[in-house]
Amino acid sequence: MKFLLLVVIFLEGYAVLATELLAMRLVLPWVGTGTDVIAIIIAAVLLPLAFGYHYGGMYRRRLRERGLGHHSVRKKLLSNVMRSTLILCIGLSYVLLEIFFSGLYFLGIRQRLMQLTVYCSIFLVYPVFLLGQTIPLIGHYYSRQVLSEMTGRMLFFSTLGSFMGSVFTTVVLMAVIGVHYTSVFIIGVMCVLIFLLARKKQIGHLLTAVGVFILMLYMNSGEQMRSLNIVSNNGYSTVQVRPMIKDPEARLMMLNNNLSSSYKEGEGSAYPYGQYIERFFLDPIAEADPPKRVLVLGAAGFTLGVYDNHNEYIYVDIDPDLQKVAEEHFLKKELEPNKKFVARDARVYVREAAREGRQYDLIILDTFKAGFSMPEHLLTREYFLDVKASMAPGGVMVMNSVAGSQFADKYTRRMDNTLRSVFPHLTRVVMSASEIGWNAWENSRGWRGAYWTNVLYIYNNNPEADADMTIYTDDKNTYFLDK
């Protein structure tokens, strides 16, 4: 009996931590990632966990105060695990989350942190509160004489389960079987808890557990993922590849709900910003002597320079499966020998490059996470300083961003300010987001009340030019000498 109780505690600890980490990964396509997202999810786990500890410890006392007499602790544990499993079955299923977040958007809840708060309130808070009662409820099985010793043992097994939930889930499961089957595994753990707690006579609970597991397996099966055009779903990103609606011969690659790349055989990128980079930055160096070194931060579909077999390309992206996915499902061909893929965080890569003195003739920044947002650590002055240090003399930096066509919002203004603090003389090119285009008078259409589109920033590495911050005044005007 004691061993069974410790196994229950271990599995509860595993389930709570694994659910927390899996939730961070599952919501990435809709709310992105960052310290704000992580903080909200951690709060949505720790606070109900604390209340669960307190509530579970008062279980017998509440029964006495209400005059309810004896109630089985085992039944209470079983009820808690059953209810948690039913809720988590919905909250950890990618297919159902697609419907959930689409519904929030339809209801007018479009701010990503508000969406995350609603998600946590519905799918995390109550299940964690129920699971948090496990240790204090099991404590009722022990007498006061051994409770102190058993409390230490219970906390040990709970923490050990949490450790395994953290390491095994992220390092092994997500990498080997994918995020969707990791969700199935966690629900499987919950179903094992139900089987351990249920008695033979409680056939209804056992059948419900089996039914929930089968439903979870179906909703997160490879067939369901393929129906959503998902070709990869690991710990880093959800990758979808599908034909373009307007041109079925062209393919779209979506990373975490971002339209990351487009490709048409024989033509390359179908996106205006990609065509612009090809035309003005890659085509002119197609036969450069010696070959140029091109660094692409944010590999996506490897479409930039896809037909360049001359220059040296290094594509950097955090997702280690991206090259295989792009070759098999998007480009449908292998990368040429002059192209190399490095699976690493962009900031880590450029910091190492800056320290080791590796320099590149052309650096293309094209990093996004979800919802057309950029990773916050790739928007800082310190990051851009490392990028600048990695540029060869006379080299060029091109950054693709999604921002306001005008400077109507704080993000667009402050990103521009940050860039110009490192790259003083920047060229800013606003790309047309559609056939409709944009006009200089409109700032009310699009996301966040502003017209958002691709905005390219272009910088030529010229220290002498950077040092010249002279302006013309009525008192001192050297215009006729400078032109």
Q: Which of 169, 200, 227 is the last residue of a domain?
A: 227
Same domain (yes/no): 105, 188:
yes
> Distance between the two ends of the chain, CA-based, in angstroms?
90
Same domain, 447 and 301: yes
Among 173, 197, 227, the domain-final residue is 227
Whether 31 and 70 share a structural domain: yes
Domain match, 348 and 382 both? yes
pLDDT (0 to 100) of residue 4: 87
Residue ranges in the chain whose pLDDT is less than 50: 435-436, 445, 447-450
pLDDT of residue 248: 82
Task: Tell me whether residue 325 is in a domain.
Answer: yes
Q: 322 with 445, same domain?
A: yes
Name the domain boundary from 196, 227, 258: 227
Residue 418 within a domain? yes
Looking at the structure, do residues 427 and 392 belong to the same domain, yes or no? yes
Q: What's the CA gap between 320 and 184, in Å, rounded?
A: 23
Per-residue pLDDT, 433: 54
User: Residue 372 has what pLDDT?
Assistant: 59
State whether 47 and 161 are in the same domain: yes
Question: Are residue 296 and residue 417 in the same domain, yes or no?
Answer: yes
**Domain of 243: which CATH number?**
3.40.50.150
Number of domains observed in the structure of the chain: 2
* 306 and 380 both lie in a single domain: yes
Q: Is residue 365 part of a domain?
A: yes
CATH code of the domain containing 15: 1.20.1250
Q: How far is CA 10 from CA 55, 134, 146, 196, in A?
A: 20, 10, 20, 12
Q: What is the pLDDT of residues 174-190, one digit of tens each?
A: 989 999 999 999 999 99
DSSP 152-216: HHHHHHHHHHHHHHHHIIIIIIHHHT-HHHHHHHHHHHHHHHHHHH--TT-HHHHHHHHHHHHHH
Q: What is the pLDDT of residue 142?
A: 73
Is 156 within the bounds of a domain?
Answer: yes
**Does any domain span residue 263?**
yes
Phi, psi angles (nearest 5°) of residue 415? -65, -45
Asked if the structure places residue 20 within a domain, the reply is yes
pLDDT of residue 145: 63
Question: Does any domain span residue 242?
Answer: yes
- Same domain flag for 344 and 211: no
From residue 298, alpha-carbon distances to 156, 293, 368, 433, 443 in Å are 42, 16, 7, 20, 29
Say if residue 59 is in the same domain as residue 199.
yes
* Geometric angle at alpha carbon 380, from 378 and 386, rounded to 5°: 75
The answer on 129 and 23 residing in a single domain is yes
Which residues constitute the domain of residue 426? 238-467
Tens digits of residue pLDDT in 454-482: 899 999 999 999 999 999 999 999 988 88
Q: Is residue 64 part of a domain?
A: yes
